[in-house]
Structure 1
Amino acid sequence: MLSNEYKEFYNQIIKKIPENIIFTDELHTLAYGTDASFYRLIPKIVIRAENSIQVKDILQLASSMNLSVTFRAAGTSLSGQAISDSILVVTSRNWTDFKVAEDKSYISLAPSLTGAQANNILATYGKKIGPDPASINAAMIGGIAANNASGMCCGVSQNSYKTLKSMKLIFSDGTELDTSNEVSKNAFRKTHKEFLSNLKMYAQSVKEDEQLSAKIRKKFKMKNTTGYSLNALIDFEDEFEILQHLIIGSEGTLGFIKEVTYYTVEDYKDKASALVYFTDVNEACKAVTKLKLAKEDKKIVVDAVELMDRAGLASIENDETMPSYIKEFDENVTALLIETRAKTPKELDIQIKQIEDNLKEFSLAKELYFTKDIEEYTKYWKIRKGLFPAVGAVRRIGTTVIIEDIAFPIEYMAEGTLKLQALFKKHNYTEALIFGHALEGNLHFVFTQDFSTQEEIKRYDEFMYDVTQLVAVEYEGSLKAEHGTGRNMAAFVELEWGAKAYEMMKKIKTLFDPKGILNPGVIINEDKEAHIKNLKPLPATNELVDKCIECGFCEPVCPSNVLTLTPRQRIVINREISRLEDQEHNFEKAKELKELYTYDGIETCATCSLCSTACPVGIDTGSLTKYLRHEKITPTQEKIANLITNNFSTTLSGMKLGLGVANLTHSLIGTNAMKGLTSTVRKISGNKIAKWSEHLPKAISIDLKIEQKASDLKVVYFPSCINRTMGLSSASKEEKQLFDTTVELLHKAGFEIIFPKKIDSLCCGMPFSSKGYDKQAKIKSHELEEALIKASNNGEFPILCDTSPCTKKMIESFEFKLKLFEPIEFALEHLIPNLEIKTINEPITIHTTCSSRKMGLHEKFIKLAKLCSAEVIVPNDVTCCGFAGDRGFNFPELNQSALRNLKSGIKNAKYAFSTSKTCEIGLSEYSGLDYNSIFYLINSCSKAK
């Protein structure tokens, strides 16, 4: 229940902001209130802001009522800076405007674009943004700027602070400022004359204090995100430059970033990386110091040096992509992952040689080897980026994984690292490991922590005290190099900076936020125990997802991420349900939360499992949803499923009848009338009747009696049950059904086709397993396997299924080793070599299904498409289509949500292709194009050799 003040806020704000993006219920406040840190506060109200007008309205109302507001972008922050027990404003994923300068020297970005999206926009021009955090695929621009997030290559020269051009801001009272616009600045000068005067006065006082100025310069030569960006006070004279650079790294405590404009940096395509194994950490750290000094003297070009200690290597040594010899290293071996980039291949070779020469004096555990192979060095970097979550995945269930983020002056890095390892032993953190951006002296150390007892909390507190003394006092380093102060280090800001600098930070906070309503408790916090309060529980819920550390890397690829919940949020809610169920007095509360979860968590999950491809440890939340669907199956539903399983061909006949009636009605009354009629009927039924679309296929029956010649090339063709039932839609411009096109294409390539017996009753089991009917899925899968074993002469002949998701299900379910192919790989391996291809000049677009992506076929699909067309468009912001088998009929809002960016991403395309009929229905609906199987394209641009 909301208190009176929040009720009043709610009643006022719904007059200005749509009610459907404001949440006060227990499910959504918990789901949105969780970030990647090990802290938790539950907001009273969550608002998913779609634009700056809404943010302004929120701030003006909150300011008038003295209610605090916290801003959240992607929630990948690790220090507790994106949580709130008041009003949480989450920037909507639809807030993604951008503008690239004509000369490509800068880019203006809305707060909800991810770093990866920004770089995808700039990639065409050989540019990128400077910041490159490990979370760049998930982290949003608003958060990247607000935290001054840096990363592996940008160092301190290309972070947000150094590459900032201008900003559009909203202050705590709702005032707006565009630092690139003279009209806006002049208006601000009039309304905030005293503000600007005080800001200049603060800057002048710091500049006149030689000791403090020297300290600021020294500390910002390193990576440093502890406290405010005091370097703004000495780096600039212009008050607006000072202002906007103070906003960088302010973690939402000084204002809201409506838009940020970055100067772009060069993105060289010629790269080389090496995993260099040193005999111990001391040797590795000394090598880093030498590389850093050589880089500063311009004797070498090195873009990144990432350190991984032996514990870090141990955490990934069983990864199948890693060399087997890592397991044989002794306990002292430490690795440096080194990358260098160049304008030309020739320059790259010179740079590699220079780095190799610089490392000759050091003792190595393995011979130095640089690779230019993209696939090989991408694996190295993927593993490095996944170190933090990987440690979390092997933690004891119920414990928290903590990542601390420090920086030593480079000359003390070896010494400091050894002392840090000694602290691990002193406080019995035996599993702790170290990795980080060594070229900047920036180290991350990761360990697991149990917060369930006061004794364990005390151990953590004592350890952190020793760490802060070592880093901030003994070596005058940074307690937070790039992860932001948050609640994690707010209690130690004064320790690191001293009383004088800390007092200036408090003045800055008061100047920007006089009522103290913006993200209170973050950066400035007088509670010396803030770092050990509001700790997040991570109870066990299901072994399918218990390894999750709630990092949020999965969220951008989820088709329901703007509709209902994300994979991370689904896991958060399931953990809370399990926690409540373990407490007898909360059992009813758990039941209520389960009911709330049904639509948001279960019904609108596509079970596409793309989350597992983005998760560093492969957690598949789709599998959890299937498990939960299975749990909800009633005895009556089980009987119906058994009936369908045992009478599958009859069921398909019923489907054809339904399709026939729908299409006949459509032909009689027309498209608009059909849409109106079915929409009304669906609404009356409470959305229980499936949605009709003009792209709904017509019913078909395939004829297996085909004329063909005997051939040494034989293939077993299994048309999926979908393609045996559903043909072309009335909106399609194609003339032949997919079955006929596939047969024609196979014959053209010289194949003799074999069909499995009793094909009418065969199914891979996918329609059953996706709904949780595991037993029935296994029955159908086994029947199909037996039929294909016989048809392929015990696996002698390749087997083609014309639908990618079905093929993946077969590969996963079958016990007998068969040569199973979906359209992409079959075309590349068996069709293209036997055909003459004439590339068409018209632009096409392709959609790689979730199943194809998980089978590693995305790049192969692009390759195949480029063999057929001179211009292939692949929309960057479309992953899963959200149709999810038949879910697109019953929950079309999921399909619409997933494909919201499709039309704008393929606007120049003339033809569209994929490898799954149901996906193609949804893709056609929201693209304006007629999507069909890639076999249509291959058939139209090929002839027999």
Structure 2
Amino acid sequence: MKQQYRALYNELCQFIAPERLIHDELRTLAYGTDASFYRLIPQLVVRVDNEAEVSRVLQLTRQHQLPVTFRAAGTSLSGQAVTDSVLIQLSSNWRGYQIHDHGHRVSLQPGIIGGKANLLLAPFQRKIGPDPASINACMIGGIAANNASGMCCGTAQNSYNTVESMKVIMADGTLLNTADPESRQAFTQTHGELLQRLQQLGEETRANTELASLIRHKYRLKNTTGYSLNSLVDYSDPFDILLHLMIGSEGTLGFISEVTYKTVVEHPIKAAALIFYPDMEAACRAVVAMKPTPVAAVELIDRAGLRAVEDKAGMPALLKTLGSDATALLVDVRASERSELEQKLAEVNQALHGIPTLSPVEFTEDADTYALYWKIRKGLFPAVGAVRNTGTTVIIEDVAFPIEQLSEGVLELQRVFQKYDYQEALLFGHALEGNLHFVFTQGFDDPKEVERYQHLMDEVAQLVAVKYKGSLKAEHGTGRNMAPFVELEWGKDAYNLMWALKAAFDPENLLNPDVILTRNPNLHLENLKPLPPAHQLVDKCIECGFCESSCPSRNLSLTPRQRIVVQREIKRLEASGEDIRRLKILSDDYAYQGVDTCAGCGLCEMQCPVGINTGDLTRSLRHERSQAYTGTAAWLGSHFEGVANTSRIMLNVADGIHAVVGSKAMSAMTSTARKLSGNRVQQWTPSMPKAAPKMATVLQQQPPRLQGDKVVYLPSCATRIMGAARNQGEDRSTPEVAMSLLNKAGFSVLFPEALGAQCCGMPFQSKGQFETANAKAEELNQALLKATDNGRYPVFCDTSPCLMRMRDTLDSRLRLYEQVEFIHDFVLPRLTIQQKTERIALHVTCSTTKMGLASKMIALANACAKEVVIPPDITCCGFAGDKGFTHPELNASALKDLPSAVVGCEQGYSNSRTCEIGLSEHSGIPYQSIIYLVDRLSEGKR
């Protein structure tokens, strides 16, 4: 850290905890990366918790004359959120919200993910207006600061047109609440000069007929190039001008600490058609024809885009038969009532009448087909990312043409790509607004490639901004990539006006300098991000950050994107040999930040547009470093039953000591032992279970029925070893309860031979001991084939992660059922639920989600409870097998918000014994397998 930043750091330490002031080489690299193709490494990352901290940080950075950049989710595509100075990053504390007027308005803090905001509004059949494709990853702060729009919101429902009020912290640290008269009055006293300047600039702009006309023309289109100059012609009150200037300001005018939106209707009835036209001209004629009709979205896909997805599973066979000029339109129509939908569809069909198509126009309301159409559209960006050459990046830019010139503009744009040999480039976008995205791959490791890119962007800028008077940035924000072209698009007068606005808000140019406005004509060609190969498992990563919201370690160490970023740098340094010191630092620190604190849950794969499971990378790295222990793992695998019995003894010893000394003394003793051992002793908690009884004891108490449909029951090694926790209120182990339930439902239960030695291999796989993991899986495979008569009988497993691994590794003849699925499909119909319990908490494990069983788990819980609470911000619990014992901070971080989410619940349920330990420890309520709930409330049908 440079000297001037060290002085700032020392002052920040007076009111911000050191763990939130990040300056080590690994995390500044990781946290400084966004979704763009630029790289700047911050000197200092400051994780702020509240408005007071932001205000003080801005005061100090101004005092030290150090630039600052704000970061929410970092999904920005144009370099808005990177810096080589101070990066202000939102902590997890910025997720407050307030719903007003039955959902017609909503106040949101900047750390709320857009998709979560819509979930909050769903009960009111409302949503926020902006609907960017990244809505399940991007945060409200970025949505507002970039004026993000999307597929359905157009310009009428973007942030600019739906914002009602805002809390904003100015460059000098002053907080303004535009909805509060007292705050406005105080601001007038302290910042009267700024308000007068805004009023003056507004009056001058409106009086300049030519400039005002240009501004109105530009905002007929989607336009995020430069500042929101439309605020100067749309409003005369300086507070209104200030409010709307903040929208799309990309952190260059102030910090948005809260935004209040007027919400829009979320129509429950939806229909869509995928319409194929013989060429671009016909498709664009259809777009113009539909402009005045009540369509929700019209998405254009060129032939290259269709070709990119035609081989994907579920795609219509017609795609492969289309001609080279074919173009598709995805048309979406939505309504609140059936009659309204029919009327709207009639209007759309009438508008399309007479325009030739390659197949009949057919709208569908079928949910699967509707989802398939949108899957085609949303799969275009990742389709390019998945097939690009390693070392290249995926660039997505978005422009807007006047809709009446859309066809000509698109054809010329395609010719420009062909001219510079971007053969893989494809076009798609929000055609109703003339807004098109173009996607292509680009390498930056060769000066000739950089030069080719420069020529492309120069020609695109001339074509879009000059020839067609369109927008160079329609919805992704100006960023660093288009900052050198702002004057070209807007002209000298408008450009000077933007600089005047910047000077009024930020006279020292410390807020995100070079973003939106720059004096550097080559800015877009500098600080280009390298993407060297790291590992074949993750080389397709485009660093978009979609994975981060689901990662349990996101608030503790690194996210999947950040793990890949650091691995790429490590591999680059290894290959170049240029900085041995830095390589050693990154490698050493990555052991904890990247490997030890990765839960390996794989939820990132479900959010990743190119399907990367970063947990696989982690397991591969664990495999590399665990080679010295291969023999030990093999011994443990071959003596598994004895190891399990030893574990039972240790659990009983610990429970006996706990009974004598109590929880407080036990925690102190084990904590001291853990510290003295260098964290080698595992963490003990009051939720630590007693030993489970041996299966022989279980079967004495719950003997299997001799008659009935046969099922093979595989209690996992976790449930065979770990019983109920002390003071849990239920002393039976999971296998005891499972046997009670299966007997009650009339099943005749069988078991695999040598049950005590059986294991799916999950504990070994998670530690990178793949050989032993596979050996145990093969042992289990043979035992289950024999027990099931080669798949004749179903297999019931009581632990979700184990069942998922079994499905991945065992013989396809085996019919393998996770406990939730088996109970939901086969057990529940044979039972009578006597009386529903009141309010329960439910944790859907990551393996349940990945197997597509979440809906069945929720349905099962709803069958047994009057109210089911599913904490909205909890994904993987972070216990991760034994991580809750070895790295309890991961479990604690992942479940930080759990206690407040389960208030009013007396009991929680899940379907993984180890997860239940961590959930019990950090929620304040006991968690058990959902088997307990069903067994407690049910009787067998007679």
Report the TM range for the smaller structure's normalisation. Answer: over 0.9
| CA positional deviation for 1:585 | 3.4
Aligned to 2:667: 675
2:750 aligned with 1:757: no
Q: Deviations over 1:552-586 (max 9, x none)?
A: 00000000000010000000000000000001233
Helix, strand or coil for the counterpart of 1:559?
A: coil
Letter in 1 for 2:244: H
Q: How does 1:435-834 map to 2 (within 5 A)?
A: 435-635=428-628, 637-700=629-692, 701-703=694-696, 704=699, 706-834=702-830
The one of 297, 306, 318 equivalent to 2:299 is 306
Q: Is the 8 A contact 2:425 2:439 kept in 1?
A: yes
Q: Deviations over 1:621-659 (max 9, x none)?
A: 000000000111142x22221110110001101111110
- Range 133-142 or range 347-356, more displaced: 347-356
Q: How does 1:183-332 map to 2 (within 5 A)?
A: 183-292=182-291, 294-295=292-293, 301-332=294-325
Structure 1 residue ranges without an equivalent (≥5): 296-300
| CA positional deviation for 1:364 | 2.2
Q: Deviations over 1:873-923 (max 9, x none)?
A: 222211101100011111111111111122222323333211110011111
Helix, strand or coil for the counterpart of 1:165?
A: strand
| CA positional deviation for 1:547 | 0.3
Q: Is the 8 A contact 1:656 1:726 kept in 2?
A: yes
| CA positional deviation for 1:503 | 0.5
Letter in 2 for 1:669: V
Instruction: Tell me the distance in 2 between the aligned counterparts of 1:826 and 1:112.
Output: 39
2:897 aligned with 1:881: no
- Range 160-169 or range 359-368, more displaced: 359-368
| CA positional deviation for 1:835 | 2.4
Letter in 2 for 1:751: F
Q: Is the 8 A contact 1:839 1:867 kept in 2?
A: no
2:409 aligned with 1:416: yes
Letter in 1 for 2:690: K
Cα gap change, 1:3 to 1:586, in 2 (>3 Å): closer
| CA positional deviation for 1:809 | 0.5
| CA positional deviation for 1:673 | 1.8
Q: Is the 8 A contact 1:694 1:731 kept in 2?
A: no
Instruction: Tell me the distance in 2 between the aligned counterparts of 1:314 and 1:611.
Output: 27
Aligned to 2:840: 844
| CA positional deviation for 1:416 | 0.7
Could you tell me the percent identity over the aligned residues?
51
| CA positional deviation for 1:456 | 1.1
Q: Deviations over 1:394-413 (max 9, x none)?
A: 11001111101100111111
Letter in 2 for 1:503: N
| CA positional deviation for 1:833 | 2.7
2:394 aligned with 1:398: no
Instruction: Tell me the distance in 2 between the aligned counterparts of 1:709 and 1:433.
Output: 63
Helix, strand or coil for the counterpart of 2:382?
A: helix
2:340 aligned with 1:344: no
Helix, strand or coil for the counterpart of 2:103?
A: coil
- Range 266-275 or range 248-257, more displaced: 266-275
Helix, strand or coil for the counterpart of 1:370?
A: coil
Cα gap change, 1:844 to 1:367, in 2 (>3 Å): farther
Instruction: Tell me the distance in 2 between the aligned counterparts of 1:650 and 1:886.
Output: 19
Cα gap change, 1:353 to 1:312, in 2 (>3 Å): same
Compute the TM-score of the two structures, normalised by the length of structure 2. 0.98
Q: Deviations over 1:750-779 (max 9, x none)?
A: 211110000010000000000000000011
Instruction: Tell me the distance in 1 between the aligned counterparts of 2:868 and 2:272.
Output: 30
Aligned to 1:298: none
| CA positional deviation for 1:359 | 2.2
Instruction: Tell me the distance in 2 between the aligned counterparts of 1:726 and 1:597.
Output: 32
Instruction: Tell me the distance in 1 between the aligned counterparts of 2:862 and 2:276.
Output: 40
| CA positional deviation for 1:836 | 2.8
Instruction: Tell me the distance in 1 between the aligned counterparts of 2:442 and 2:398.
Output: 16
Aligned to 2:127: 128
Instruction: Tell me the distance in 1 between the aligned counterparts of 2:416 and 2:522.
Output: 21
Letter in 2 for 1:677: M
Aligned to 2:7: 8
| CA positional deviation for 1:734 | 2.0
Helix, strand or coil for the counterpart of 2:711?
A: strand
2:139 aligned with 1:140: yes
Instruction: Tell me the distance in 2 between the aligned counterparts of 1:309 and 1:905.
Output: 46
Letter in 2 for 1:180: A
Cα gap change, 1:376 to 1:936, in 2 (>3 Å): farther
Instruction: Tell me the distance in 1 between the aligned counterparts of 2:79 and 2:143.
Output: 15
Q: Deviations over 1:58-87 (max 9, x none)?
A: 110111111111111110000111100111
Helix, strand or coil for the counterpart of 1:124?
A: helix
| CA positional deviation for 1:684 | 2.6
Helix, strand or coil for the counterpart of 2:124?
A: coil
Helix, strand or coil for the counterpart of 1:843?
A: strand
Q: How does 1:905-924 map to 2 (within 5 A)?
A: 905-924=901-920
| CA positional deviation for 1:735 | 4.2
Instruction: Tell me the distance in 2 between the aligned counterparts of 1:155 and 1:754.
Output: 60
Letter in 1 for 2:476: H
Q: Is the 8 A contact 1:16 1:57 kept in 2?
A: no
| CA positional deviation for 1:31 | 0.3
| CA positional deviation for 1:712 | 4.8
Aligned to 2:28: 29
| CA positional deviation for 1:479 | 0.2
Q: Deviations over 1:171-217 (max 9, x none)?
A: 11112211111111111111112111111100000000111111111
Instruction: Tell me the distance in 2 between the aligned counterparts of 1:897 and 1:369.
Output: 49
Aligned to 2:928: 932
Q: Is the 8 A contact 1:544 1:619 kept in 2?
A: yes
- Range 126-135 or range 5-14, more displaced: 5-14
Helix, strand or coil for the counterpart of 2:578?
A: helix
Letter in 2 for 1:192: H
Compute the TM-score of the two structures, normalised by the length of structure 1. 0.97
- Range 576-585 or range 677-686, more displaced: 677-686
Q: Is the 8 A contact 1:93 1:113 kept in 2?
A: no
- Range 637-646 or range 799-808, more displaced: 637-646
Aligned to 2:892: 896
Instruction: Tell me the distance in 1 between the aligned counterparts of 2:928 and 2:15.
Output: 44
Q: Deviations over 1:40-64 (max 9, x none)?
A: 1111111111111111111101111
How many residue pairs get aligned? The number is: 937
Q: Is the 8 A contact 2:385 2:610 kept in 1?
A: no
Aligned Cα root-mean-square deviation (Å): 1.4
Q: Deviations over 1:653-687 (max 9, x none)?
A: 11111101110011111122222222222223232
Q: How does 1:130-169 map to 2 (within 5 A)?
A: 130-169=129-168
Cα gap change, 1:883 to 1:305, in 2 (>3 Å): same
Helix, strand or coil for the counterpart of 1:365?
A: coil
Instruction: Tell me the distance in 2 between the aligned counterparts of 1:709 and 1:64.
Output: 78
| CA positional deviation for 1:851 | 0.8
Instruction: Tell me the distance in 2 between the aligned counterparts of 1:753 and 1:684.
Output: 47
Helix, strand or coil for the counterpart of 2:512?
A: coil
Instruction: Tell me the distance in 1 between the aligned counterparts of 2:784 and 2:893.
Output: 37
Aligned to 1:356: 349
Q: Which runs of 4+ in 1 moved over 6 A?
A: none
Letter in 1 for 2:114: G
Letter in 2 for 1:918: T
Letter in 2 for 1:740: E
Instruction: Tell me the distance in 2 between the aligned counterparts of 1:314 and 1:847.
Output: 41
